[in-house]
Amino acid sequence: MFTGSKHEVADIFRKYGKEYLERYKQPAYILKVIGSIEKCRTAALGGHIDQCDSCGYKRISYNSCRNRHCPKCQSLAREKWIDERKKELLPVKYFHVVFTIPEELNRITLQNKKIVYDILFKAASETLLKLSKDKKHLGAETGILSVLHTWGQNLMEHPHLHCIVTGGGLSEDGKQWIEKKKGKNQKKDFFIHVNVISDLFKKIFLSYFKKASKNKLLLFNGSISGLNNAAVFQKLLNDLYSKKWITYCKQPFGGAEQVINYLGRYTHRVAISNHRIKCIEGGKVTFSYKDYRNSNETKEMTLEALEFIRRFLLHILPNNFYKIRYYGILSSRNKKEKLSMCKQILGVNENEKETVESDNLEYGKHIDASKCPKCKKGRMVLEERMMVIPLNANRSP
């Protein structure tokens, strides 16, 4: 049975969601997310009763909403996804590269989520693939797994892309695995300097951005309506070209197990997890956050409940938008052939049973839900299915 946090995002929606929606109209896909989170693991979605075949202990389990924005529904999806990624791991170093867009683009992004997020994915992947194929840097095709995050610790908009990149790649003729030439900083540095990555990323991103504007694909409403003026838009472009864009590369992972642990923490993360919510009282919400500007010190922030909801909803992705994407030797069209070639070159036996496991209970290990939590001996057996009981609500999700 789920033993969740004392306070949950769902509680905030149940207490203050109606008031928020009366004040601020929302599109159907946002209403669906709110409704799913409210109902998750409640009688509104039905459930079942299990009974121990040894001691008779009974356990009620309510069904999950399985919405990708729900803080309670990511564990199972994460485990299934990680199991698939384990099969694709290579015995090489993996690097973590992060792409961030300037804050001047944040308000534009909120009005044009799908278009700008797509541009972010395209620009980052093309940058890494183009530079890695350049013989000055590597001269090979790498594998890239990209994950979109749109938030900062304070829940404000902060679009950025986390990329896991193979430390090396497949040669053009497909016959050898090429790694970076050894140097003084071999243990720390990515095979492409971050300044080179940042410069090319900026050029590619702004090229796509200008094209989208030229094709009338971008909306500039409200506080940014001035960008509909060609001169104002051009000034924004000039400022963005002159600005230094932030891209950084973390130290390489120590091995396949570290990669799996990382993936578990980042790929299925939502804007805020329930354990960070400390108090819901008096129309306010208090939650913890890490202050990255102050040595990652953990602090608490209190917001009006409606402002908390507004910030949370900033990070609801458009329908059918993929926040995890694959490129290079990991892309869907290349994976079957090129990944197999890499494994053969690197001496990986694809028939061997996968042995990589996480050492983190929350993010990696499977919990045997069939074992009785009371007597620890019996097995929990389905006794009864529970019917759906609609929530008392005046709005439809």
Query: How confident is the prediction along the chain (397 residues), in pLDDT tens digits per residue?
Result: 344 568 999 999 999 999 999 999 999 999 999 999 999 988 888 888 999 999 999 998 888 898 999 988 877 777 778 888 888 889 998 999 999 999 999 999 999 999 999 999 999 999 999 999 999 999 999 999 999 999 999 999 999 999 999 989 999 999 999 987 665 544 456 888 999 999 999 999 999 999 999 999 999 999 999 999 999 999 999 999 999 999 998 878 877 778 877 777 778 889 999 999 999 999 999 999 998 888 889 999 999 999 999 999 999 999 999 999 999 999 988 888 999 999 999 998 766 544 444 433 333 444 567 889 899 999 999 888 877 766 554 444 3
Which residue in this structure is represented by tokens 């159907």? 28
Provide the domain limits for residue 121: 88-271+319-345
**pLDDT value of position 144:** 95
In a domain, 391, yes or no: no
In a domain, 71, yes or no: no
In a domain, 59, yes or no: no
- The two structure tokens encoding residue 263: 């993936």
CATH number at residue 245: 3.40.1310
Spatial separation of the C-alpha atoms in residues 98 and 268, rounded to whole Å? 17
In a domain, 170, yes or no: yes
Spatial separation of the C-alpha atoms in residues 325 and 145, rounded to whole Å? 6
In a domain, 188, yes or no: yes
Overall domain count for the chain: 1
**pLDDT value of position 229:** 97
Burial 347-358 (b: 16+ CB within 10 A, else e): eeeeeeeeebeb
| Farthest-apart Cα atoms in the chain, separation | 76
In a domain, 114, yes or no: yes
Predicted model pTM? 0.86
Task: Give the other-Cβ count within 10 Å of 35's Cβ.
Answer: 20
**pLDDT value of position 186:** 46
**pLDDT value of position 79:** 78
The dihedrals phi and psi of 169, each to the nearest 5 degrees, come to -165, 175
